[in-house]
């Protein structure tokens, strides 16, 4: 496990919708690429994520994520925020963020206000529940695998993503590959070793440093 379960460390790649065969190539060859690691069975899941923001886009500008996720079993709230730069030494292109996630009964902002106050006081001091609205919906099919070697673990996710801008009803599709560190924070160098090897093997993989929310807004604004 991580030293701090609320710290997320990952590396992400995006592949355009028209390049689906390249996405399938990585996905089908991945077990061979990670043949020296023990791997879990592939777990597939469909989910829908609703991202909230103010009318003025305050969360977008501060790179704060306020997300409600639902699948066929549960509903969850997720809050993600940047970590002060001094804690990111040696990040080497990895995304490192604070992440809080909790299973919930209601997706209503007001019902979850106390949690938001606890983890996003910079927002709740300025805004009220009525100020937050659904802005982006992300429809996602995910296949994920947990790969481990000694004390190092990385979760690899292959995502088929559809972004929907609720304000203007514009949608865009793409593919993403995410590698998230699941073992101790000190193993982030081993995560870099894996991603460096992937980038050498698949030169078409381009790192992406945007959250799905930021990316969705940028791709669907017209």
Least confident of 85-99, 150-164, 173-187, 195-209: 85-99
Cα 59 from Cα 135, distance rounded (Å): 11
Q: How many domains does the chain have?
A: 1
User: Can you tell me the mean pLDDT for 57-67?
Assistant: 95
- On whether the CB atoms of residues 179 and 10 are closer than 8 A, the answer is yes
In-domain check, residue 27: yes
Q: In this structure, is residue 47 part of a structural domain?
A: yes
Domain housing 39: 7-220
User: Per-residue pLDDT for 24 more than 50?
Assistant: yes
Q: What residues pair up with 40 in beta bridges, in sequence order?
A: none
Tell me, rounded to whole angstroms, the distance of Cα 150 from its chain centroid: 25
Query: Are the C-beta atoms of residues 27 and 144 closer than 8 Å to each other?
Result: no
- Asked whether residue 85 carries a pLDDT value surpassing 90, the answer given is no
At 88-123, the pLDDT tens digits run: 444 567 888 899 999 999 999 999 999 999 999 888
Split at pLDDT 50, 70, 90, the class of 9 is very high
**Residue 85, helix vs strand vs coil:** helix
Is pTM beyond 0.85? Reply is: yes
pLDDT for the residue 86: 41
Asked whether residue 126 is assigned to any structural domain, the reply reads yes
Q: Does residue 130 surpass a pLDDT of 90?
A: yes
Q: What is the CATH number of the domain that holds 115?
A: 2.40.320.10
| Per-residue pLDDT tens digits for 26-42 | 999 999 999 999 999 99
Nearest to 58 by CA among 150, 127, 136: 127
How many angstroms separate the CA atoms of 11 and 207, rounded?
7
In a domain, 212, yes or no: yes
Structure tokens at 96: 């490192």
Q: Are 125 and 116 in contact (CB under 8 A)?
A: no
Is residue 65 domain-resident?
yes
Does some domain include residue 200? yes
Residue 1 lies in a domain: no
Q: Is residue 2 assigned to a domain?
A: no
> What's phi and psi for 48, nearest 5 deg?
-125, 125
In this predicted structure, what is the pLDDT of residue 171?
97
pLDDT (0 to 100) of residue 90: 45
């Amino acid at each position: 496990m991580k030293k701090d379960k609320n710290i997320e460390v990952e590396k992400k790649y995006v592949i355009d919708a028209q390049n689906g065969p390249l996405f399938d190539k990585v996905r089908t060859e991945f077990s061979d690429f990670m043949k020296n690691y023990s791997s879990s069975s592939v777990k597939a899941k469909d989910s829908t994520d609703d991202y909230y923001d103010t009318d003025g886009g305050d969360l977008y500008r501060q790179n704060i994520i306020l997300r409600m996720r639902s699948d066929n079993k549960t509903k969850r709230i997720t809050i993600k925020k940047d970590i002060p730069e001094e804690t990111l030494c040696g990040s080497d292109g990895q995304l490192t963020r604070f992440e809080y996630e909790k299973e919930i009964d209601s997706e209503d902002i007001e019902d979850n206000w106390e949690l938001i106050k606890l983890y996003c006081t910079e927002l709740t001091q300025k805004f009220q529940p009525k100020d937050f609205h659904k802005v982006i919906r992300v429809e996602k099919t995910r296949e994920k695998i947990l790969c481990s070697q000694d004390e190092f673990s990385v979760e690899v996710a292959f995502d088929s993503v559809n972004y929907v801008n609720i304000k203007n009803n514009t949608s865009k599709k793409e593919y993403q590959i995410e590698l998230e560190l699941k073992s101790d924070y000190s193993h982030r160098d081993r995560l870099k070793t894996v991603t460096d090897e992937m980038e050498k093997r698949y030169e078409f993989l381009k790192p992406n440093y945007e959250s799905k929310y930021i990316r969705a807004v940028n791709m669907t604004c017209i």
